[in-house]
């Protein structure tokens, strides 16, 4: 089967089995890992295209996996965070560490497979909740308008609002009368801002999680 | 006080206007009196035993010179207040020495201890009162009672002390006003309070010493004190390990108690919620819809608890009210309702109507959305609030709306209009339905 090879990282065996059962008909599963150490080794051993990453694990969780993988040589895989947590600081921290997207564990198998493919294509994946957090974090005037990274454009806000309202990318393209590729571009640009912006809300979240960003 | 006259309130040596070091000119400017009067006081005090000379020298040393730029003055208000108090004290000392030299004097053994006790006691008293009442308007620094009066009537001890602490208190109030919001200021205020109380205590103790010294009773008192100090040191050395251990175990016990209290709280909550739900799930395992709804309700409740949000249905805030509405719809229709809220606000009648309309829209989406999940997105920036309720059901052609559904729609649209808001329903066959509610704050 062609398509991205996926590594599932989660410390709950039951959950890994569930995700595997749902994804197996749709994608190739490269392996599983149940801890930060195992994940770092499995990424080196299996060289997956996409890593489905649990945010909450002992010894640092998903953020630690991304950090340690980045220290090693070779091209790192794409990370897609998958978590039951909907706390803003968890979500923002893992995105700022380098994940290409964030989906909650209540997502359906088909939607998850779609998200994995999209991340593998280099696009960003935002769940409605993540879109809500980003809009919240970027609300109000930027602390210092020194960087365009610290504010969202009107179009980006519009796209994020539609994601938060539960629209798919294709539907957003249709409603805003732009191409799906343009929607992707806006979302990727928001992700970049999320990772690089110096807005103090984001920096504070990162600092609370012990991230050096 | 305003910032414009703040510079005049700070005691600085005025070198440009002074003859020698600018001490007299500085004091004169600070208190708004004629500089020649101050100079006269210094000269008289010098003639009456050299005290004026000493006071001038001290003033030269202690009072910072130069430009009292407002910015600098504002930042260093705390220190400036101390300097003002020092300067005032020195001036008082000069006056006292003058009177002493002039012979208007009772006895060293009475006057000095009384002055020290009065100022020290007033400092301590004021500090302990400051905790309960804000420093009331202290009399202006110029209202200074004469030393004989203070010596003869110790009951009025607050008067010279108030004179000394007046400018100081004002300085403190300015410092507090500037930094009220910072925790640093809290710490600084505590430090000021402690150092002030300490200074007061030192003054009172010094008064006792001066009195004993003057009456010749110090020798005996010193022997007793020495014995007491020696005993305390010896006992301290002997019992130090026990004392340290006691303190440590007390701290440990306290931490332990807090931990176990927290544990008990968590356990109680898990027992009331999660364990109960798990038991229910086991009993209802043959009904998947019921199990799903139980799990969903429990998840919602646990998330609210983890995020330290008030449980839905308790708070008069927009986000909590929408969550509560979503929960009710979810429970009665068995369809998941996802709520994402950006910003939050208090609920007034208009926004309560908005929430009620949103609940109506959620109910519709759950009923006619073909079992698809319902997405609710709300955004409020304080003046404008928008709520979107969307399902991915079969949708409908708005032109051919069945009568019963139109009724419900009217209740949403009509209610919003009555409260100065707007509602719009967008739908097309196969594309789901979205209800948009918006409300602008009326000015």
Among B292, B338, B342, which would you mutate to test the A interface (most chain A Cβ atoms within 10 Å of its Cβ)?
B342
Residue A207: its pLDDT value, please?
60
- Which of chain A's residues have a Cβ under 8 Å away from the Cβ of B428? none
Enter the DSSP assignment of A34. Answer: S
* Chain A nearest-CA residue for B389: A165
Q: How far is A114 from chain B (nearest CA, A)?
A: 18
**CA B329-B331-B333 angle, 5° bins:** 65
Confidence of residue B68 (pLDDT cuts 50, 70, 90): very low
Average pLDDT value for chain A? 83
Q: Which residues of A touch B434 (CB under 8 A)?
A: 165
Shortest CB distance from B341 goes to which of A132, A165, A166?
A132
Distances (CA, A) of B315 to A144, B236, B318, B378, B380: 34, 56, 8, 17, 17
pLDDT for position A178: 92
Strands B374-380 and B337-342, bridge-based pairing: parallel
Q: What is the mean pLDDT of chain B?
A: 73
B315 compared with B369, residue with greater pLDDT: B369
Cα separation, B255 vs B259, whole angstroms: 6
Closest CA in chain A for residue B309? A87
Cβ contact A165–B343 (<8 Å): no
**Nearest-by-CA chain A residue for B373:** A166
pLDDT digits (tens, 9 = 90+) for A42-64: 998 888 999 999 888 887 788 88
Q: Which of A180-184, A197-201, B247-251, B272-276 has the weakest average pLDDT?
A: A197-201
Decide if pLDDT at B162 tops 50.
Answer: no
Distance CA B260, CA B357 (A): 45
Q: How confident is the model at residue B165 (pLDDT cuts 50, 70, 90)?
A: very low
- What are the chain A neighbours of B306 within 8 Å (beta carbons)? 87
Span of A8-12, A17-21, B52-56, B294-298 with lowest mean pLDDT: B52-56
Closest to B77 (Cα-Cα) out of B187, B170, B189: B170
* pLDDT tens per residue, range B285-295: 888 888 888 88
- Strand B421-427, strand B433-440: pairing: antiparallel
3-class SS string, chain B: CCCCCHHHHCCCECCCCCCCCCHHHHHHHHHCCCHHHHHHHHHHHHHCCCHHHHHHHHHHHHCCECCCCHHHHHHCHHHHHHHHHHHHHHHHHHHHHHHHHHCCCCCHHHHHHHHHHHHHHHHHHHHHHHCCCCCCCCCCCCCCCCHHHHHHCHHHCHHHHHHHHHHHHHHHHHHHHHHCCCHHHHHHHHHHHHHHHHHHHHHHHHHHHHHHHHHCCHHHHHHHHHHHHHHHHHHHHHHHHHHHHHHHHHHHHHHHHHHHHHHHHHHHHHHHHHHHHHHHHHHCCCCHHHHHHHHHHHHHHHHHHHCCCCCCCCCCEHHHHHHHHHHHHHHHHCCCEEEEEECCCECCHHHHHHHHHHHHHHHHHHHHCCCCCEEEEEEECCCEEEEEEEECCCCCCHHHCCHHHHHHHHHHHHHHHHCCEEEEEEECCCCCEEEEEEEECCC
Position of tokens 């749902």? A22
What pLDDT band is residue B403 in, cutting at 50, 70 and 90? Answer: low
Instruction: Of A174-183, B4-13, B312-321, B336-345, give the range with the top mean pLDDT.
Output: A174-183
Q: What is the mean pLDDT of residues B212-216?
A: 76
Please answer yes or no on whether A129 and B303 come within 8 Å at the CB atom.
Answer: no
Write down the residue that tokens 């519709």 correspond to. B364
Task: Tell which wins on pLDDT, B214 or A37.
Answer: A37
Q: How confident is the model at residue B229, as a pLDDT? A: 92
When pLDDT is averaged across residues B363-378 and rounded to a whole number, the result is 87
If you average pLDDT over residues B276-284, what whole number do you get? 83
At residue A194's C-alpha, the angle toward residues A75 and A159, to 5°, is 110
pLDDT-based confidence at B142, cuts 50/70/90? very low
Query: Quick one: closest CA in B to A162, which residue?
Result: B377
Which residues on A lie below 8 Å from B341 (Cβ)?
A: 132
Give residue B158's pLDDT band: very low, low, confident or very high (50, 70, 90).
very low
- pLDDT for B46 equals 63
Cα distances (angstroms) measured from residue B64 to each of B91, B217, B286, B347: 16, 41, 86, 56
- Contact call for residues A116 and A6 (beta carbons, < 8 A): yes
Which of B306, B377, B381 comes nearest A128 by C-beta? B377
Of A50-64, A66-80, A137-151, the range with the lowest mean pLDDT is A137-151
Radius of gyration over alpha carbons of chain A, in Å?
Answer: 17
Taking the C-alpha atoms of residue B47 and residue B256, their distance in angstroms, rounded to an integer, is 69
The alpha carbon of residue A144 is apart from the nearest alpha carbon of chain B, in Å, by 20
Mean pLDDT value of segment B182-201? 72
Give percent of chain B with pLDDT exceeding 90. Answer: 7
Q: Place A159 in a pLDDT band, splitting at 50, 70 and 90.
A: very high
Q: How far apart are CA B151 and CA B160, in angstroms?
A: 11
Distance, CA of B10 to CA of B436 (rounded, Å): 61
Predicted pLDDT at A107: 80
Rounded CA gap, A26 and A22, in Å?
A: 8
**For a pLDDT cut of 70, what percent of chain B falls above it?**
70
CB-CB contact of A89 with A136 (8 Å): no
Residue B139 or A137, more confident: A137
CB B435 within 8 A of CB B425: yes
Strands B433-440 and B384-391: antiparallel
Pairwise CB contact (< 8 Å): B338 & A167 = no
Q: Could B343 and A106 be called an inter-chain contact, meaning their C-beta atoms sit closer than 8 Å?
A: no
User: Is the separation of the CB atoms in B105 and B115 below 8 Å?
Assistant: no
Q: What is the pLDDT of residues B2-48, one digit of tens each?
A: 444 444 566 777 766 676 777 888 887 777 777 777 777 776 666 55
- Nearest CB to A164: which of B373, B377, B431? B377
Please state which of the ranges A39-48, A62-71, B137-146, B181-190 shows the lowest mean pLDDT: B137-146
Residue B4: burial class (beta carbons within 10 Å; 0-12, 13-18, 19+):
exposed
Examine the pLDDT at A7 and tell me if it is beyond 90: yes
- pLDDT, residue B176, reads 43
């Amino acid at each position: 089967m062609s398509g991205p090879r996926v590594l599932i990282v989660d410390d709950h065996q039951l959950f890994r089995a569930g995700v595997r059962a749902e994804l197996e008909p749709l994608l190739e599963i490269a392996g599983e890992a149940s801890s930060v150490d195992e994940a770092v080794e499995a990424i080196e051993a299996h060289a997956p295209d996409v890593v489905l990453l649990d945010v909450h694990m002992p010894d640092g969780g998903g953020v630690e996996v991304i950090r340690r993988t980045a220290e090693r040589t070779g091209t790192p895989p794409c990370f897609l965070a998958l978590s039951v947590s909907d706390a803003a600081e968890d979500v923002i921290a893992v995105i700022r560490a380098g994940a290409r997207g964030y989906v909650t564990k209540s997502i359906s198998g088909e939607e998850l497979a779609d998200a994995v493919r999209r991340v593998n294509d280099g696009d960003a994946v935002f769940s409605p909740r993540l879109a809500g957090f980003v809009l919240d974090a970027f609300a109000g005037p930027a602390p210092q308008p020194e960087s365009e990274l610290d504010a969202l454009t009107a179009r980006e806000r519009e796209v994020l609002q539609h994601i938060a309202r539960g629209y798919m990318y294709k539907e957003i393209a249709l409603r805003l009368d732009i191409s799906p590729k343009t929607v992707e571009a806006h979302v990727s640009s928001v992700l970049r801002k999320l990772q690089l912006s110096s807005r103090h809300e984001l920096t504070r979240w990162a600092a609370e999680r012990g991230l050096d960003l | 006080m305003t910032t414009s006259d703040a510079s005049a309130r700070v005691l600085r040596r005025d070198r440009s206007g002074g003859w020698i070091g600018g001490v007299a000119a500085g004091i004169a400017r600070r208190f708004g009196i004629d500089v020649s009067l101050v100079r006269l006081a210094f000269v008289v005090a010098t003639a009456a035993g050299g005290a004026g000379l000493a006071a001038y020298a001290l003033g030269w040393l202690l009072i910072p010179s130069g430009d009292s730029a407002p910015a600098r003055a504002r930042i260093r208000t705390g220190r400036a207040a101390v300097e003002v108090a020092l300067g005032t004290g020195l001036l008082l000392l000069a006056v006292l020495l003058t009177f002493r030299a002039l012979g208007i004097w009772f006895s060293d053994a009475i006057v000095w201890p009384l002055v020290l006790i009065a100022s020290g006691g007033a400092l301590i008293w004021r500090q302990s009162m400051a905790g309960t009442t804000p420093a009331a308007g202290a009399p202006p620094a110029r209202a200074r009672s004469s030393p004989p009066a203070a010596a003869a009537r110790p009951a009025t001890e607050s008067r010279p002390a108030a004179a000394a602490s007046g400018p100081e208190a004002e300085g403190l109030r300015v410092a507090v006003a500037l930094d009220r919001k910072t925790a640093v200021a809290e710490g600084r205020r505590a430090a000021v309070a402690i150092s002030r109380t300490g200074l007061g205590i030192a003054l009172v103790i010094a008064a006792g010493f001066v009195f004993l010294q003057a009456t010749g009773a110090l020798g005996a008192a010193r022997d007793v004190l020495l014995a007491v100090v020696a005993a305390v040191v010896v006992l301290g050395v002997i019992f130090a390990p026990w004392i340290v251990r006691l303190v440590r175990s007390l701290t440990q016990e306290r931490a332990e108690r807090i931990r176990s209290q927290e544990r008990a709280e968590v356990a109680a909550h898990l027992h009331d919620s999660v364990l109960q739900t798990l038991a229910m799930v086991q009993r209802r395992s043959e009904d998947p819809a019921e199990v799903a709804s139980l799990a969903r309700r429990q998840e919602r409740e646990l998330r609210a608890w983890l995020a330290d949000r008030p449980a839905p249905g308790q708070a008069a805030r927009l986000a909590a009210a929408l969550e509560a509405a979503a929960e009710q719809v979810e429970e009665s229709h068995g369809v998941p309702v996802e709520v994402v809220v950006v910003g939050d606000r208090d609920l007034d009648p208009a926004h309560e109507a908005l929430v009620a309309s949103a609940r109506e829209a959620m109910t519709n989406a759950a009923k006619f959305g073909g079992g698809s999940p319902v997405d609710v997105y709300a955004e409020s920036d304080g003046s404008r609030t928008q709520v979107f309720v969307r399902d991915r059901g079969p949708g409908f052609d708005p032109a051919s709306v069945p009568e019963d559904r139109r009724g419900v729609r009217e209740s949403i649209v009509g209610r919003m209009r009555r409260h100065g808001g707007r509602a719009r329903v967008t739908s097309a066959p196969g594309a789901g339905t979205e209800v948009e509610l918006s409300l602008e704050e009326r000015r």
